[in-house]
Structure 1
Amino acid sequence: MISLAESTPRQRSRSETAEHALRRDIVLGTLAPGAALRELELAERFDCAQGTIREALMRLSEDGLVTRRARRDTHVAQASPDDAGELLRIRHDIECRAAVRVIEARNDALLRDLDTQLQAMRIAALREDEYSLLEHDCSFHLRLFEAAAMPVVEPVLFRCLVHTQRFKILNSAPETRDLKATAERHVSILEALTTGEPDTLARALSHHITTIVDFGPDVFAAKGRHGT
């Protein structure tokens, strides 16, 4: 399973350390869209070889967070509202349509794993660590979808999660992003899962996604206006 937050932390390689730090800076907007990423400068920052940085940038490129061109600098990817809106709609369809398969496969291990991610989100909120909360938020949804047993689709959902989270942060004021409330929004999904009813879970997921603060309501209102 693709995951940003590992339940059992392990020591990262230098390439993974650089990738994680750059991913954090890109998602939180510390590195703005269009910013140049020069391998030599990054190698000095992370005290490693340029080849190590190249590996990290290649993985970020695979996730669409940077753009790389031969013989040119790498740049932080743009955050297009059209892209973000379409990814949010795709995410909605992927997660809600999987509800039947998730309910069929639910077990105690799934519930424990999801509760672990929820508790981690709550701790991150208390620490005001927004990126850690986003990591565990992403891992919560990926673990839920893993139960649907559609591994080919998982990378698509991962990209939807990462890019919609990034767009929300880049286009909302910090004071509107209540970290504690973000964590608690996942409780209704867990409660719906325990009912054993696919429609209840699908409705909980739909509400969760369509009401994302400063993002979801506008995207799905536009969808309704266009009749799609």
Structure 2
Amino acid sequence: MNNEFFSSSKDISQQFISILKDWIPAYSSIAIAVENSYIYFHSGHQNINLEVGQQVQPGSIAEQVIRTRKRTDAILDNSLFETPYYGIGYPIHILDVPAALVVVLPSAFTEKKLEPFQFLTGKHEEEWNPVAIDKISHIESLQKKTWFYVDGDQFKTSITLKELQMRLPSFFIRIHRSYIVNIHFIKKMARDLTSNFIITLKDGSELPVSQSYLNNLRNALEF
């Protein structure tokens, strides 16, 4: 991206931002991407690992907007954020080049917007079963599918782990990229022979705790 284009696109970006500030919630974060890189970024209170000039990641809201030219909204996982956030992307043009404007809403707004699930409906064998949320011991992402477990039975749901993380009650804790656990079903926590943290559930199941999520567990259980 040449310097002349970058300078002009930055000026246009500022015009979009001045309009946005009139209607988006305070502490929102804003990013504008043109082609394959970000040309503007303003951070709200979130800890976001994003910089001007950074490449647009495949599967991100910005990438989807630029590719489809459609408004896109999604719950973002913690690859760019410390905790999940709700983002909305809009197709725009910068000097006739397809671009994406992405607004990331603050967590307080998201928590008010999304009510916690009271139950999940999952498929077991050839039946769909609604299950009260407090009966679920843990939830797993495996082979691009989401499974939850009740009394040793496995149920499949179409809801992703990152979406569930935004809608589960506070007694569910994300402990790994592939696991969310109900703290009421935890029997004990300890380190294994390689010093990795392991959770043992009351039914004997063992779940790994990744280093990036260990603080979530420590803060929730105060140990």
TM exceeding 0.5: no
- Larger relative strand fraction: 2
Q: TM-score, normalised by structure 2?
A: 0.26
Greater relative CO, 1 or 2 (CA 8 Å, sep 6+)? 1
- Larger relative helix fraction: 1
Structure number with bigger Rg:
2
